Amino acid sequence: MQGGHGEPFTSPLFYESMARFDHTTRHVILEPGSVSPGILALLQGRRCRLLVADAALALNRLSEKPQETEFLLHQVEPLINDAGVEKIDTVLCWDLLNYLSLPLFNAFTARLAAIMAPSGMLHAYIHSAHNVMPRRPQRYSVLGDDLVARFDHDPPERKAPRYSYGDLDKHASGLRVARSMLLRNGIQEYLLRVKPE
Amino acid sequence: MFDRNKRETHDESDSIPTSETRESEERFDTQNRAREAAVIGPSIQINGDLSGEEDLIIQGKVSGTIQLREKSLTVGTKGQVDASVLAHSIIIEGKVNGDLCGSERVSIRKTGNVHGNIVSPKVSLDEGCRFKGSIDMDQETINKAFGKSATPSVTTKPEHASTKSKNIEINRSNKTGESSAAEKKVNSGSTG
């Protein structure tokens, strides 16, 4: 990761998650963190609504204190809350999951599953090739339909949990891993779907 | 996350910059626009409904609703707006806590800090700005916002309750000690 500052990379599963969109159906996309540069250009002209929760730092802080999942669920709800207006079709969970403790990971994904449409997808990038990561979540920028770049503004100084396919499948409440790809730059890309009730 | 009253505060150091690439011709020059627009200066505070038919630049504090259907609104770097806004184009360089409807576009500049929901066909976010809320670019929603029900409620007030400039009207719901200065500024058609 450290060597890939700002280098664009092809992201097949991101492409796949966005290719579901057509110009006739309305889609709702959620970015739990801050808005990713370039995403608006990609969505321009489509029937869509982008929700930006800007909750990455709050989640990161929540993660630092050991808490019960039940308590965390109550904490996460106001952070990821669209008042139930519309179900979420796609969640772009970039550089966020590695910053969550396992109990918070559980609570966070349970919250997402509750507000996602039954056909909803979660797209995630996870550090997997390096043992350390920056202190706080960094940004990704959308450069094209399947082209993304990562920007590391902070130096890597924190141990990365490097959540695996198995970890995600086990701890992602209400979601299941549908596909995963290891990209050349060491980023593991995931698509998760809502578990049928 | 979209409850404006529950806004979370972050240190400046917590800012994660955001940006959108834009065509250079889409950029507005604030100084050039200031020559023709009405200006609410930094020391002015207005509480109430504000509507008009000329461009407006806000450098002071405004709360209530703002409606400039055919014109542009700029919230300058010193501006603080706690209001629902409906305008042709909206440029944010200061702080806004409220929903923004732009029939043409909404631009949040790098110094902008917005907490609210945006409805517009074109939205751009500069590197360094802060945004929390939703962005709706669905034409159906935009039509609704500018057509029937979803517009900010800027009601017609009796003559005695309003202050009319050439083209800007303020319907005061709460007159502050500074509002008379605001009226002077707006009435004079200040070019800031």
Please name the member of A35, A44, A48 whose beta carbon is closest to the beta carbon of B131. Answer: A35
Pairing of strands B123-125, B100-108: parallel
Please name the member of A33, A40, A52 whose beta carbon is closest to the beta carbon of B133. Answer: A52
* In contact, B184 and B165? CB cutoff 8 Å: no
Q: Is A41–B21 a contact, with Cβ atoms under 8 angstroms apart? A: yes
Interface check A41 vs B, CB under 8 A = yes
The reported pLDDT for the residue numbered B162 is 37
Q: Is B138–A48 a contact, with Cβ atoms under 8 angstroms apart? A: yes
Evaluate if residue B13 carries a pLDDT over 80: no
What residues does each domain of chain B span? 16-180
Q: Count contacts between A and B (CB, < 8 Å).
A: 88
The reported pLDDT for the residue numbered B167 is 63
The reported pLDDT for the residue numbered A10 is 94
Q: Residues B34-88: pLDDT tens digits?
A: 568 899 999 999 999 999 999 999 999 999 999 998 999 999 999 999 999 999 9
What integer is the mean pLDDT of A62-91?
84
Please name the member of B1, B135, B141 whose beta carbon is closest to the beta carbon of A53. Answer: B1
Evaluate if residue B163 carries a pLDDT over 80: no
Chain B: residue whose CA lies nearest to A85 = B2
Complex prediction ipTM: 0.88
The reported pLDDT for the residue numbered A46 is 86
Cα separation, B158 vs B143, in Å, equals 29
What integer is the mean pLDDT of B159-188?
46
Q: Which chain B residues contact residue A56 at CB under 8 A?
A: 16
The reported pLDDT for the residue numbered A61 is 85
DSSP code string of B137-183: --HHHHHHHHHSS-S-------GGGEEE-SSEEEEEEE--TTHHHHH
Q: Residues A114-130: pLDDT tens digits?
A: 999 999 999 999 977 77
Q: Is B127–A37 a contact, with Cβ atoms under 8 angstroms apart? A: yes
* In contact, A59 and A1? CB cutoff 8 Å: no
The reported pLDDT for the residue numbered B172 is 57
What integer is the mean pLDDT of B158-178?
48
Evaluate if residue B154 carries a pLDDT over 50: no
The reported pLDDT for the residue numbered B175 is 40
Q: Is B10–A37 a contact, with Cβ atoms under 8 angstroms apart? A: no
Q: Distance, in angstroms, between B155 CA and closest chain A CA? A: 27
* In contact, B77 and B92? CB cutoff 8 Å: no
Evaluate if residue A92 carries a pLDDT over 80: yes
Q: Which chain B residues contact residue A52 at CB under 8 A?
A: 131-135
Evaluate if residue A84 carries a pLDDT over 80: no
For residues B28 and A56, which has the higher predicted lDDT (pLDDT)?
A56
Chain A: residue whose CA lies nearest to B7 = A79
The reported pLDDT for the residue numbered B34 is 59
The reported pLDDT for the residue numbered B176 is 47
Q: Which chain B residues contact residue A46 at CB under 8 A?
A: 137
Evaluate if residue B30 carries a pLDDT over 70: no
What integer is the mean pLDDT of B134-149?
83
The reported pLDDT for the residue numbered B4 is 46
What integer is the mean pLDDT of A110-114?
94
Q: Which chain A residues contact residue B18 at CB under 8 A?
A: 34-37, 139
What integer is the mean pLDDT of A22-36?
89
Cα separation, B127 vs B110, in Å, equals 5
Please name the member of B1, B124, B137 whose beta carbon is closest to the beta carbon of A55. Answer: B1
Q: Residues A148-183: pLDDT tens digits?
A: 998 877 788 888 888 889 999 899 999 999 999 999
Q: Is the pTM of this model over 0.80?
A: no
pLDDT band at residue A54 using 50, 70 and 90 as cut-offs: very high
Lowest mean pLDDT among A67-76, A115-124, A128-137, B175-184: B175-184
Please name the member of B6, B10, B139 whose beta carbon is closest to the beta carbon of A78. Answer: B6
Evaluate if residue B18 carries a pLDDT over 60: no
Q: How far lies B113's CA from each of A15, A54, A116, B107, B108, in Å?
A: 30, 12, 28, 11, 8
What residues does each domain of chain A span? 2-194
What integer is the mean pLDDT of A11-23?
89
Q: Is A41–B17 a contact, with Cβ atoms under 8 angstroms apart? A: no
Q: Is A49–B134 a contact, with Cβ atoms under 8 angstroms apart? A: yes
Please name the member of A34, A40, A50 whose beta carbon is closest to the beta carbon of B16. Answer: A34
How would you class A158 by CB atoms within 10 Å of its CB: exposed for 0-12, middle for 13-18, buried for 19 or more?
A: middle
Evaluate if residue A68 carries a pLDDT over 60: yes
Chain B: residue whose CA lies nearest to A51 = B134
Output the average pLDDT for chain A.
88
In CATH terms, A2-194 corresponds, of 3.40.50, 1.10.10, 3.40.1130, 3.30.43, to 3.40.50
* In contact, B80 and B65? CB cutoff 8 Å: no
Q: Is A37–B18 a contact, with Cβ atoms under 8 angstroms apart? A: yes
The reported pLDDT for the residue numbered B3 is 46
Residues within 8 A of B (CB atoms), A 56-95 only: 56-58, 78-83
